[in-house]
Structure 1
């Protein structure tokens, strides 16, 4: 069975915007990583391949603050062939292979030469579910199709071939605006990132954001969800 509609799973019927659908613009990606990480929640990630469109609502993100952030690939202004994409303009796709297995999709944010990014950790699938199921045959439920960054990469057929794509102008990978304003703070859980224990004190910083109550989130932080 398909996942529940986005507005039902979020219980935000009254807050959904009714503006014409378009894409997030360059200026929206040129903001700081924490602001963009929040802004992306509730927007729609779209991938078009061979005329097939798959899409879903972004429900979980992580912010990476660049040269000062020990969990960021560009900590200490590290610049390699892989991380050079992070020095590009806000709105660029930064895709890397994690553990030699999973392709992870990030969005470069901020200005050129300011190497910061936002990781898209989880998506609520809404379009092209049959295609996603074929790409993720091990997913037992639709809520598991995109409930983690590696799963997002597989379900959306994202690889290093899409690295450095401009999400503002690309016709194969982009983000559609469903909300004019960011989700209200009451609907966002803010907590530490996952899998960055090596980053010392930075591992504890609250730089992961997810939609409270959404079943497609990768891992819930029950302590952070408490009032």
Structure 2
């Protein structure tokens, strides 16, 4: 008698979806709200003056660390993107506060998207889709479908990296904060919405559907 194979996501614990969303998006919402309230303020610490953006960044770093640790504690799992995002926020956010220079934090999305775009591109060169490994539990696509989606997402990430550079270098700080909070999130949502035809054309059929067609 063969033993049942455990599901690959079995180690991931079930968490209330509302709580999960609060832990994932709460720090970003808090950053935006705090920036709107404190953007015109100046804080004197140790004889040095810090504007509102620097102060809000200083508060955002431990908040993100705490929310990520709680999420890991509750689910027993963190995605590659969550881990890499946390590392970049701590590193570049820390440089921003330490050097009192907001450029480091504004560059963080550029490096994040370049990393993921480059990782996807490296996988494509090897004839595989790292995206399939990350999202296989959420989507069931053929190999060709995964390769097409990965290629599109790679160029999309590179485009977001370039767009972030344009926004923080060419526009006001407040405009960039709005772009970072709402624009990037909306862009990713719209990207996946526009892939509906790809999902339909390359969806893997369930065994039950195949049996019914065969009969």
Structure 2-normalised TM-score?
0.31
In terms of fraction of residues, the more strand-rich structure is: 1
Higher helix proportion: 2
Q: TM-score, normalised by structure 1?
A: 0.30
